[in-house]
Amino acid sequence: MAPSSSTEPGPEATPSLAAAPSAAAALPVLRLKPGAQKRLVRGYPWAYSNEIEMDAETRGVPAGGLVRLADSRGEALGTALFNRRPLIAARLMSRRSDVSVDRDFLAARLARALEIRERLFDRPFYRLCHAEADGLPGTVIDRFGPTLVIQVNTAGMAQLLPDLLAALDRLLEPETVVLRNDSPARELEGLALEVEVVKGSLDGASELVENGARYLADLRAGQKTGWFYDQRDNRALVGRLSAGLQGGRVLDAYSYTGGFAIQAALAGAQEVVAVDRSEAALELAAEAAQLNGVDARCRFVRAEVFADLAERARAGDRFELVVVDPPAFVKTKRDLPQGLKGYRKLLRLAALAVQPGGLLVAASCSHHVDVAAYSEQLRRGLQDAGREGRILYQRGAGPDHPLHPFLPETVYLKLLAVAVD
């Protein structure tokens, strides 16, 4: 796609505010406090509310409005989306102050994101846009063939949603578009929670293909956008590990719709037990097992995972491979002490379910828990279980969930594969 005149210019020097053209000059100027520009100059894309001079003009900017960001002396820092309600108040859209953030601008960002994904994947099933890392703050777009699922978690991108939808129509011509705007993160921005099909229709579950397996996702009511593409490579790893079991047993705890379970069964596991508390998710997992011809070797158990693992420990029920992929135990920093205790307990129970000489694959999606802290809970969990082990793999999210190089704190997914003695 040839960029129009309103797409983002190249990397030449950013002009001062005085040199900005009239279209950009019409935007309100948001000034930072003295010294607050240092991180942004180094590449950080956010400014916090306590770093911004809250004068009358700033207070008058509507939630999600576009602004020209400047340092305390008036030197331009770029074009940003501003909402004074949350702690992250300004989110850079461009390092330039003379850019028009419009339909063409968004189409150029999406085209770049699509180009990257098409190099990585041969089927249209992936995360197309991963928020700041793809230049669209707080916005995720997952692609399920002809269907797109969009989640917009910032007021600024909510203001730009009509242009975003038009840009996606231009780029991909999707048959169906679902807005999964039901994330609690929207409440921090003052946005309502809602789910809406804004194009086409959605009847029942949608099929996707990943690592050669067929799965079903509930795009309207399933967790997040209905599927977790971030675990794609880790599910493939579980398949490879299962292939080496020579027909052993696999336990998939917090199975959701069977992502890990189906891979294990396809790889040749003799028996796969998938445990989750959601009956709806397990029904989709069972349907996926049938689609892949492995239903005879899969069993789906509706239960609370902690209680199920504790009962298996009492009964001495052990598996050659155990997978635990729970929802986030730590949603805020206040939850950290209790959440770490939860991970330690879960990892102890999971280790008890592993046959000596078997494998434990354990994941955490809590971004407030870093790799070091999670590894420490693994060590303590193994110790509590009276087991020893060695970490074989330390993994994160797949490449369609890229990391913004100046936002390392947004790393969230951690997965450890452990050989348990």
3-state secondary structure 384-419: HCCCCEEEEEEECCCCCCCCCCCCHHHCCCEEEEEE
Show pLDDT as tens, one digit a residue, over the chain (421 residues): 333 334 454 433 334 444 444 455 589 999 999 999 999 999 999 999 999 999 888 899 999 999 999 999 999 999 999 999 999 999 999 999 999 999 999 999 999 999 999 999 999 999 999 999 999 999 999 999 999 999 999 999 999 999 999 999 999 999 999 999 999 999 999 999 999 999 999 999 999 999 999 999 999 999 999 999 999 999 999 999 999 888 899 999 999 999 999 999 999 999 999 999 999 999 999 999 999 999 999 999 999 999 999 999 999 999 999 999 999 999 999 999 999 999 999 999 999 999 999 999 999 999 999 999 999 999 999 999 999 999 999 999 999 999 999 998 789 999 999 999 9
Q: Would residue 365 show up in a list of annotated catalytic residues for this protein? A: yes
Q: Which of 365, 413, 418, 420 is catalytic?
A: 365
What's the distance, CA 74 to chain centroid? Answer: 36
Look at residues 82, 150, 80, 83 and name the one whose alpha carbon lies nearest to residue 113.
150
The pLDDT assigned to 47 comes to 97
> What distance in Å separates the CA atoms of residue 421 and residue 415, rounded to the nearest whole number?
19
Q: Which domains does the chain have, with CATH numbers?
A: 27-94 (2.30.130.10), 103-203 (3.30.750.80), 211-420 (3.40.50.150)
Number of C-beta neighbours around residue 234 at 10 A: 25
Tokens of 397: 């999210």
> What distance in Å separates the CA atoms of residue 49 and residue 52, rounded to the nearest whole number?
6
Query: Is the sign of the CA dihedral 115, 401, 321, 252 positive or negative?
Result: negative
Place of tokens 């977790």: 228
Q: Which strands make up the sheet holding 414-420, listed edge to edge?
A: 298-302, 271-276, 249-253, 319-324, 354-364, 414-420, 389-395
The pLDDT assigned to 24 comes to 55
Residue-by-residue DSSP string for 299-313:
EEEES-HHHHHHHHH
The pLDDT assigned to 247 comes to 81
The pLDDT assigned to 9 comes to 41
Using CB atoms within 10 Å of the CB of residue 30, give its burial: 0 to 12 exposed, 13 to 18 middle, 19+ buried: buried
The pLDDT assigned to 57 comes to 87
